[in-house]
Amino acid sequence: MSKSAEIIIEGKKYDLPVIEGTEGEKALDISKLRAQSGYITLDYGFKNTGSTTSKITFLNGEEGILRYRGYSIEDLCDKSNFLEVAYLLIYGKLPTAEEYDQWIYDIKMHTMVHEDIKRILEGFPSNAHPMGVLSSLITSLTAFYPESLDPNRSIDGVKLSIVRLLAKLPTMAAWAYKNEVGHPVNYPDNTLDYVSNFLKMMFALPAEKHEVDPVISNALDTLLILHADHEQNCSTSTVRMVGSSHASLYTSISAGVNALWGPLHGGANQAVIEMLDNIKKDGGDVEKYIKKAKDKNDPFRLMGFGHRVYKNFDPRAKIIKKHADEVLAKLGVEDPVLEIAKKLEETALKDEYFIERKLFPNVDFYSGIIYRAMGIPTEMFTVMFAMGRLPGWISQWLEMRENNEPIGRPRQIYTGENVRDYVEMSKR
Ligand code: SDX
């Protein structure tokens, strides 16, 4: 295959090097195009533009493939656990038994947060959305660990920040929920595994004995694995962009939390449940909502459907849908919106509008149904997404910094006014 492509601009030929990835993906390297031709490329939403090369996650949207460091998510969901997957994403290999034990120990030793974080938390009104609380508390870590602000910090120094983030995010997330419901916060219990510890911090009450249901903790561990990374999505690109200015890992991750919050991205899991509840309230008329989703004059979108990359079934949605049936059955939970979701999916996948646009259920379509069955409130759904995506954001930030990638600074095409003289107020 030719190692370059030729383009002709205003009669002049230019050779663009061709980059080929491990799985055969190809790109034109345009890094010298402006210097040679004066032209830039324009691609709203970067739908056709690569921002980097990466060894972390491979996804194939046409075939519905997702792999972390070469391992399929199907295999990892069957055989691994979330913290092992976090190690794999961040350090590029599965840990030995010794490395794994040290990793678990290190994370357990950092699950507590500074008591002053409780005072910051108490400053938020109970109606504060947990995603806003979480991004604020993550940013506050720069105050408690000012060494994290050193732009020239060694990668070893960053490793402590990595452990602190993985260890403290569940504590801060659970505390954000307790602040919302007006319950006292629970301190971490290091006798429990990572996910069970989070669930206990979320739901334990001082007045009652609390046992974590292994059905719930196992299902949540799988959901966190499925959300762990997804190459250059909106929030990951945000983490890379902020980190490229040599801002700290904490502030980069906080920026990623805020990008994920949007309803077109991670916020979709909350939007899906709100949509399903509305359809149920409106009599469960699925056909009516499919029609609304297709109507260009109607702002209604079928949340949890469609994806920038997957033009086939999102492999994560397949696994989550299977888990939804199993978890609800094991928990003895009857949620009528599960049937509405399945009917929506069945109807949409037979409809020309969705088929033509290759719109399939994505990771957010069924996840909220499982979260709700676990007792997790709707406004915490995107926090669960952030907890899952944290190791992916960290691994991508680390890769960008280890590769000494330049500060992100896209160009533009100016379409505003030509130069004009200032006009005195009296003459306007
Ligand atoms: C995530 O990037 C990632 O990897 C993200 C993520 C991750 O793990 O990080 O996978 C997580 O964010 C999943 C996506 C969650 N968002 C939603 O479920 C919101 C609903 N989906 C859409 O808004 C939309 O599908 C996006 C935002 C996900 C993707 O949008 P694109 O790729 O920019 O596609 P588009 O908006 O240009 O849509 C193409 C066409 C349009 O119709 P036409 O103009 O061609 O006539 O499809 C239509 C859209 O109107 N369309 C939908 C639709 N999604 C797209 N129509 C109805 N309902 C929908 N959900």
Could you tell which of 260, 276, 359 is best to mutate to test the pocket of ligand 1, judged by most ligand atoms within 8 Å of the CB?
359
Domain identity same for 107 and 199: yes
291 lines ligand 1 (CB under 6 A): no
Ligand 1 centre distance from Cα of residue 308 (Å): 6
363 lines ligand 1 (CB under 6 A): yes
Q: Whose CA is nearest to atom 45 of ligand 1?
A: 357
Residue 243 domain flag: yes
Q: Whose CA is nearest to atom 25 of ligand 1?
A: 306
Nearest to 43 by CA among 54, 62, 28: 28
Ligand 1 centre distance from Cα of residue 8 (Å): 34
| % the chain with pLDDT above 90 | 94
Could you tell which of 226, 264, 358 is best to mutate to test the pocket of ligand 1, judged by most ligand atoms within 8 Å of the CB?
264
Domain boundary (50, 66, 87) is at 50
Domain identity same for 21 and 91: no
Q: What is the pLDDT at residue 2?
A: 64
Residue 92 domain flag: yes
Domain span at 20: 4-50
- Average pLDDT, whole number, for the chain? 95
306 lines ligand 1 (CB under 6 A): yes
Domain identity same for 128 and 190: yes
Q: Whose CA is nearest to atom 14 of ligand 1?
A: 265
Q: Is the pLDDT of residue 425 over 90?
A: yes
Q: What is the pLDDT at residue 183?
A: 96
CATH number at residue 335: 1.10.580.10
316 lines ligand 1 (CB under 6 A): no
pLDDT tens digits, one per residue of 254-302:
999 999 999 999 999 999 999 999 999 999 999 999 999 999 999 999 9
Confidence class of residue 154 from pLDDT cuts 50, 70 and 90? confident
Question: What pTM, to 2 d.p., does this model score?
Answer: 0.95
Q: What is the pLDDT at residue 153?
A: 84
345 lines ligand 1 (CB under 6 A): no
Q: What is the pLDDT at residue 318?
A: 93
Count of structural domains within the chain: 2
Average pLDDT value for residue range 211-216: 94
pLDDT tens digits, one per residue of 229-263:
999 999 999 999 999 999 999 999 999 999 999 99
Average pLDDT value for residue range 79-108: 98
Residue 61 domain flag: no
pLDDT tens digits, one per residue of 140-152:
999 999 999 988 8
CATH number at residue 13: 2.20.28
69 lines ligand 1 (CB under 6 A): no
pLDDT tens digits, one per residue of 321-361:
988 988 999 999 999 999 999 999 999 999 999 999 999 99
Q: Whose CA is nearest to atom 24 of ligand 1?
A: 306
Q: What is the pLDDT at residue 151?
A: 84
Q: Whose CA is nearest to atom 3 of ligand 1?
A: 233
One-letter identity of residue 1: M
Q: What is the pLDDT at residue 306?
A: 94
Residue 55 domain flag: no
Average pLDDT value for residue range 361-368: 93
307 lines ligand 1 (CB under 6 A): yes
Domain identity same for 232 and 364: yes
107 lines ligand 1 (CB under 6 A): no
Residue 417 domain flag: no
Residue 272 domain flag: yes
Residue 69 domain flag: no
Q: Which residues are catalytic?
A: 307, 364
Residue 67 domain flag: no
Domain identity same for 115 and 11: no
Q: Whose CA is nearest to atom 31 of ligand 1?
A: 308
Domain identity same for 39 and 86: no
Domain identity same for 160 and 308: yes
Domain identity same for 8 and 151: no
Domain identity same for 40 and 86: no
Domain identity same for 158 and 262: yes
Query: Quick one: which atom of ligand 1 is closest to the CA of 308?
Result: 32
Q: What is the pLDDT at residue 1?
A: 54
Domain identity same for 148 and 12: no
Confidence class of residue 156 from pLDDT cuts 50, 70 and 90? confident
Domain identity same for 345 and 201: yes
Q: What is the pLDDT at residue 369?
A: 93
Query: Quick one: which atom of ligand 1 is closest to the CA of 365?
Result: 18
